[in-house]
Amino acid sequence: MDDYPNRDKRRFPPKKKGARRGGWKPPTKKPAGRREQGWDKVAAWYDQLVGKNGSDYHQHVVLPAAIDLLGSLKDKRVLDLCCGQGVLFPNLMEAGAKEVRGIDASPQLIAAARSRFEDDPRVKVLVDDACSEKNDWADGSFDTVASLMAVHDVPDLPAMCRNISSSLKEGGEFVAIFMHPCFRIPRQTHWGWDEGRKLQYRRVDRYGVDLEIPIITHPGKGGGETTSFYHRPLAEVMNAIGGAGLAVTRCEELISHRRSQAGGSRSKGEHRAAKEFPMFLALKAVKLPG
Q: Which residue has the higher pLDDT, 169 or 3?
A: 169
Least confident among 15-29, 98-112, 185-199, 249-263 = 15-29
Distances (CA, A) of 141 to 97, 102, 123, 220, 243: 14, 14, 16, 45, 20
CB 145 within 8 A of CB 168: yes
Mean pLDDT of 83-98: 95
> Would you state the pLDDT for residue 225?
74
- pTM across the whole model: 0.82
> Would you state the pLDDT for residue 16?
43
> Would you state the pLDDT for residue 219?
55
Percent of the chain with pLDDT over 90: 68
- Give the β-pairing of 142-148 and 168-179: parallel
**Residue 258 banded pLDDT, cuts 50, 70, 90:** confident
- In tens, the pLDDT along 1-28 reads 444 343 434 444 444 444 333 333 444 4
Q: Is the pLDDT score of 31 beyond 90?
A: no
